[in-house]
C-alpha cells in the first residue's frame, strides 16, 4: 500500500492551472526528490497533499485513507518552505515551538533533537530573536521531534550553513535507511537529490518525469531537458553516494 497516492490532481488559482492532472504514488521507505523550476507547483502539490489547499479536482490518499478521512497526522512531519511571514514578536520559545502539538512533552527527546540540530543552547530563547538559519534549524527539530513515518521537507536548507546542511542531509539518510522513514524532499538543488534520493519527480505544472534515478539516467527525454552534461553529473553523484537504497 503506498503511503501517498495522488490521482489526477489539479489546482487552479485565479482561473489558471498551478498544477494539472498530477498522478503519482510514494511507497513506504522511499526517499523521493521533487524538483522543478520556480512556479512549477512543487509547494502547491505538497499543500494539496496535506489538505492545506483544496484542489479543483483529483484525489489524495494518505496511508491508504482518503484525505478527508485521514486522522493520524502525527505520522507526518512537515517543514514548510518559509514560515508564513514569521512574526518576530511571537513570544514562543524554541522549546515551546519544537514541542508544539505533541500530546506528551518528553524532555530527553527534546534535548536530543535540539542537540542534533545544534540548537540545544537556544532552547529557552524566543524564536523571533534567532537568526533565520537558527529558526530553520528549530523548525527542522520540530518536524523530527514527532519521529514521523513520513517527512516532507520543502526547501529545507536554504538558510543553513554548509555544515548544518550536511548534518541535516546525513540525518535524513539515516532516518530513511535505518528507520524506514519515507522522505519527500523538495529542492532546487538537483545535485542534492542525486546524492540522497532514490526516486525523482520532475514537475512543471504537470509531471514531466516520475520514476527511479536509474530510469532518469537512461531517459532520452531527460537528456533533452537537462542536457547530457548535467544529466551525467547528476547521475554520477547518485552512483557515488550509493543512494540506490
Partner 1 sequence: MNLLDILSYEFVQRAMVAGMLIAAVSALLGLFLVLRRFSLIGDGLAHTTFGSVAVVLLIGISPLYVTLAALPLVMASSLAIYKLTSSRKINADSAIGIISSLGIASGIILASLSGGFNVDLFSYLFGNILTVNNTELLLSFIVFLIVVVVVFYFYDDLFAVTFDQELAQSMGIKTRRINVILFLLTAIAAVLAMKVAGIMLVSALLILPALTALQLAVSFRTTMIAAVVFSIVAVVCGIIFAFLLNLPAGAMIVLFNICFLFLVFVAKKLSHLRR
Binding site for partner 1 (CB under 8 A): 47, 50-52, 71, 73-74, 76, 78, 80, 83-84, 86-87, 89-93, 96-97, 100-101, 124, 126
Q: Which of 81, 71, 76 is nearest to 45 (CA)?
A: 81
Q: Which three cell numbers stand for residue 213?
A: 534515478
- State the distance between the two ends of the chain, measured CA to CA, in whole angstroms: 19
**Residue (91 or 220) nearer to partner 1, CB:** 91
CB of 163 to partner 1, least distance (A): 26
**Are the CB atoms for 42 and 34 separated by under 8 Å?**
yes
Nearer to partner 1, 47 or 238 (CB): 47
* Burial of 58 from C-beta contacts in 10 A (0-12 / 13-18 / 19+): middle
Choice between 182 and 237, CB closer to partner 1: 182
Minimum gap (Å) between residue 5 Cβ and partner 1: 18
CB of 14 to partner 1, least distance (A): 9
Give 100 or 244: the residue with its C-beta nearer to partner 1: 100
How many helices (H) does the chain have, and how many strands (E)? 9, 10
| CB-based contact 27:176 (threshold 8 Å) | no
Q: Between 41 and 194, name the residue whose CB sits nearer to partner 1.
A: 41
Residue 19, φ and ψ in degrees, nearest 5: -135, 145
Nearest approach, Cβ of residue 74 and partner 1 (Å): 8
Least distance from C-beta 143 to partner 1, angstroms? Answer: 10
Amino acid at each position: 500500500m503506498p503511503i501517498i497516492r495522488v490521482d489526477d490532481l489539479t489546482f487552479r488559482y485565479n482561473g489558471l492551472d498551478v498544477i494539472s492532472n498530477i498522478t503519482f504514488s510514494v511507497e513506504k521507505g522511499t526517499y523521493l526528490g521533487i524538483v522543478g523550476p520556480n512556479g512549477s507547483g512543487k509547494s502547491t502539490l505538497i499543500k494539496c497533499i496535506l489538505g492545506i489547499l483544496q484542489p479543483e479536482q483529483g484525489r489524495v490518499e494518505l496511508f491508504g485513507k482518503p484525505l478527508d478521512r485521514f486522522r493520524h497526522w502525527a505520522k507526518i512531519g512537515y517543514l514548510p518552505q518559509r514560515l508564513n511571514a514569521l512574526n518576530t514578536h511571537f513570544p514562543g520559545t524554541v522549546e515551546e515551538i519544537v514541542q508544539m502539538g505533541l500530546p506528551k512533552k518528553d524532555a530527553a527527546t527534546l534535548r536530543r533533537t535540539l542537540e542534533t540540530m545544534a540548537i540545544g543552547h537556544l532552547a529557552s530563547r524566543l524564536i523571533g530573536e534567532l537568526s533565520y538559519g537558527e529558526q530553520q534549524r528549530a523548525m527542522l527539530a520540530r518536524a523530527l521531534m514527532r519521529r514521523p513515518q513520513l517527512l516532507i521537507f520543502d526547501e529545507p536548507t536554504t538558510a543553513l550553513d554548509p555544515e548544518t546542511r550536511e548534518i541535516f542531509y546525513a540525518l535524513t539518510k539515516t532516518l530513511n535507511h535505518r528507520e524506514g522513514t519515507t522522505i519527500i524532499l523538495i529542492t532546487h538543488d538537483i545535485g542534492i537529490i542525486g546524492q540522497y534520493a532514490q526516486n525523482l519527480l520532475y514537475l512543471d505544472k504537470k509531471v514531466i518525469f516520475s520514476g527511479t534515478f536509474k530510469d532518469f539516467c537512461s531517459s532520452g527525454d531527460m537528456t533533452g531537458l537537462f542536457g547530457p552534461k548535467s544529466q551525467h553529473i547528476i547521475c554520477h553523484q547518485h552512483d557515488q553516494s550509493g543512494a540506490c537504497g
